[in-house]
Amino acid sequence: MRVFMRLSATPAFFLACLALSSCTSSLAPDSLVAGVPSRETTSSVARPSAPVPATAVPSPDVAETPSPTAPRQEELAWAGPVPQPQAFTPQPGVAAAPMPLERPAASVAPAVLAPAAPEVDEEQPTRSRIYNHRFRDVKPINFGSSSPRKLAVHGVDVSRWQGDIDWQKLRTQGANFVYIKATDGGDHLDPMFRKNWRDAKQAGIKRGAYHFFYWCRTAGEQADWFIRNVPREAGALPPVIDVEWNGESSCKRRVSPEKVREKMQVFMDKLEQHYGQRPIIYTAPDFYRDNLKGAFLNYPFWLRSVAAHPSKVYPGRRWVFWQYSGSGISHGVDGRIDLNVFHGSEDDWHDWVARSN
């Protein structure tokens, strides 16, 4: 901004001009760093609830903090710089004017009004339409009186293996929500994540992202990798940590139950701090039995149970999502797709979504 001021005095023989010089400033975005590259890959279709009141959690283990290295720009360019916590807080506008060297004798300048504070681009809390369940199943299971079909809000989870999805058609088949595979370990990004993330939103489907956890990488670098590749957006569902034993992964390590819970806590703490949402824990029966029974009572759970109701497979565990099939088929998707259901009524769903943001 450049400001000029002219002052005149009563004697005609005196004239002086005063000019104020201009100045400019710029603020560069924070630089991004990525985790240490590895050869870890996975061919699994990993299958990853309302946020629970936050409770005190142990401080992250210092040993879990990775040493950052320079990122590969092509992997991060689409997501842009990592937003800082204040990015979603409107900042009041401030109008500054230079102070005159002396008070004008003839008049007083009118007050300068500060411009309105910038608005945050957020989704309006409207209730989206709920479509009835119309999925089919290649290997249907008779769940008896506890059939997932009796619950109102169904959804899916997807990864690269579902290929190019017709999201509008998938939604009308009953996909009222979707969890999209985002990252593995500390250096792998699902090649379809960017497209799926954007297309699902355009189709009006509530969506969230999940991370497949590797036991051969530190929790801190895995959390950083997820954060750098998954945008923080108003209206998105809480992030998911997918924890299970996966024999198809190059990481065959099985750490102790205590170490499992320690690493999970570090990862979840970092995500909750960044996204402002308590992460959801997705798991399978064997991993739950070995590591999670009786743990993380204040976290929402997403449970895989394709042969019986979760109450039989995970007795006493409260849950928000139930993955009841890995062999679903639907218009809009070639091949099989995982089927899920929300634990509650249609009103419960809308309330949970509202509380999650």
Is 75 among the catalytic positions? no
Structure tokens at 245: 């034993």
Q: Please report where in the chains the tokens 């109701």 appear, as a residue.
A: 309
Q: Please report where in the chains the tokens 């079909």 appear, as a residue.
A: 149
Q: Please report where in the chains the tokens 């036991």 appear, as a residue.
A: 215
Helix or strand run (H / E) with residue 313:
helix 310-313
Residue 206 contacts residue 245 (beta carbons within 8 Å)? no
Structure tokens at 240: 């998911």
Residue 83 burial (C-beta neighbours within 10 Å; 0-12, 13-18, 19+):
middle
Helix or strand run (H / E) with residue 273:
helix 257-275
- Interacting residues of 201 by C-beta distance below 8 A, sequence separation 6+: 207
Instruction: Point out the catalytic residue in the list 64, 102, 123, 244.
Output: 244
Between β-strands 4-8 and 15-19, what pairing exists: parallel, antiparallel or unpaired?
A: antiparallel
Residues annotated as part of the active site: 244
